[in-house]
Amino acid sequence: MPDSSTDKMINVGHWIKKWSMLQPHKEALFFEDHPITYQRFNERIHQLCHLLNQLGVKKGDRVAVLLHNCPQYLEIFFALSLMGAILVPLNWRLAEPEIEFILKDSGARFLIFEPEFEPMITSLRSHLSFSNGNYLVVGDPSPDWAIPYEKAIAPQSSHEPRFDYSAGGEDPHIIMYTSGTTGIPKGAVLSHRKTFFNVLNADMVYQLTSKDIMIVSRPMFHSGGLLVESAPVLYKGGTLILKRRFRPREILEAIERYRVTIVELPATVYQFILQECDLSEYDLRSVRCYFTGGERIPIALLQEYLKKGILISQIFGQTEASTITFLPTEKAVEKMGSVGLPVFHGEVRIINKEGKEVAPGEVGEIILRGPTLMSGYWNRPDLTSESIKNGWLYTGDLAKKDEEGYIYIVDREKDMYISGGENVYPAEIEKVFFTHPKIFDVAIIGVPDEKWGEVGKAYIVLKPGEEMTEEEALQFLRGKVGKYKIPKYVEFVESLPKTASGKIQKYILKEWHRRAP
């Protein structure tokens, strides 16, 4: 008999069915300017469920997805939710060995991909235990060993599928792999419960209504694109604007055309918009709030937008817990640089090495607990026990709070280094560098030094057409930070290695330094 407990009733897959009854002709999505109503969206989700059921997908099966942003991505997301199967999003920026590792580590039995990635999948097939019937391809051309997605779902029934089991609640919903800043892939297991409370938090952060319209600017293989942007808006019955990828100009054009109400972009995209576009040429009056998160946010960038009448608030989170804190729009000026206050459904503390809560102004590690926490790392109880202790997730992020409880990120605990007995937080120095008009991006790491133990090394990316000497860079810091914080070395590079969410992979920078002649 199906489990009828309240917990099992929390199934993410039910949302679209309910909105298809309440507002069947409302646009759920616009993809490349093509509208899809909630009714049609719901029918296609049901058709996909029937197809996957015929192919043998069962509750608990892992289904990997290698797609750019598209409606099919969301169809898969909701269909697997209804079936109790588990979505494994694959980062299309990864190299072939990394994709192979995730497929094998997750135990995925099915793979849905698009033709662009066929050469990689063809190369991997001999290393995987998939049968031909376990590959679906979205788009043309389709290899003869894969099932064409659109052709296969077309004859399927659009009626709601029925299953002889229940799914939801604490059942795994997604395994989202994150290498973070360490480079070691680990699969965060996200339950239906976690996704549900995440959207409840986002509902409050964005103050959502069914009239809201939002651009999905981040890739859906990332929690930002799938769980911070897409899922909350669809939960509330709003409308998403999708493209495979948005160029900066296209984001502004979409805001104007669709009267977008909420904008959430990576800081680098906000930076590119300033470089490539004239904001005064676009009608942005429909937007009622702007947010950013997922990477370091230069104060200078926030100030530049403020001069143009745009207030950008920060969100702080990570894959293991989604949104952790947010800065209310009404505090965006007064608390500029802060990531705000804890979300409604979540408890946040900043603690020292002894586990005691720090006083205002003191630096400590952010820990949190609540219903938005992951269940753990897939098949890695050792990593899970290191990260979750007594119900608290230890984030590894260092922060401080002011007298009113507003939180300011200082750095990653692993990024801090000790020079001459003094703690040095690279992010503090990076913030100063970001105010230099020639500098586009910067990262600082600690490197070995015989005299001081460790010293700083700055990797700097200059804006196009700019030139700078090492001495000019170091001179800019003098008088702005303590002498012991000024890096000993400077290296100019064309770009910095980053994760899909925009976080700098400092372990790669350390490897660069180690290999330097």
**Domain residue extents for the chain:** 23-28+38-168, 195-412, 417-515
Average pLDDT of every residue of the chain: 92
pLDDT grade, residue 453 (50/70/90)? confident
- pLDDT for 217 equals 93
What is the Cα 219 distance to its own chain's centre? Answer: 8
- pLDDT for 3 equals 45
pLDDT grade, residue 501 (50/70/90)? low
CATH 3.30.300.30 for domain 417-515: yes
Asked if residues 104 and 379 have their Cβ atoms less than 8 Å apart, the reply is no
Q: Please state at what angle helix 426-433 crosses helix 470-477, rounded to 10 degrees.
A: 110
pLDDT in tens, 32-49: 999 999 999 999 999 999
Asked if residues 205 and 343 have their Cβ atoms less than 8 Å apart, the reply is yes
pLDDT at 1 over 60: no
CATH number for the segment(s) 23-28+38-168 = 3.40.50.980
- pLDDT for 267 equals 85
- pLDDT for 398 equals 87
pLDDT in tens, 460-482: 999 999 999 999 999 999 988 88
* Topology match between the domains 23-28+38-168 and 195-412: yes
pLDDT in tens, 68-124: 999 999 999 999 999 999 999 998 888 788 899 999 999 999 999 999 999 999 999
pLDDT in tens, 284-324: 999 999 999 876 688 888 999 999 999 999 999 988 998 99
Task: Report the pLDDT averaged over residues 491-514.
Answer: 86
pLDDT at 231 over 70: yes
pLDDT in tens, 263-273: 999 888 898 89
pLDDT at 423 over 80: no
CATH number for the segment(s) 195-412 = 3.40.50.12780
Report helix, strand and coil shares of the chain as percent, to nearest 5.
Answer: 35, 25, 40
In the Cβ-directed half-sphere of 450, how many Cα atoms lie within 13 Å? 0
- pLDDT for 2 equals 41
User: 186: part of which helix (H) or strand (E)?
Assistant: strand 186-191
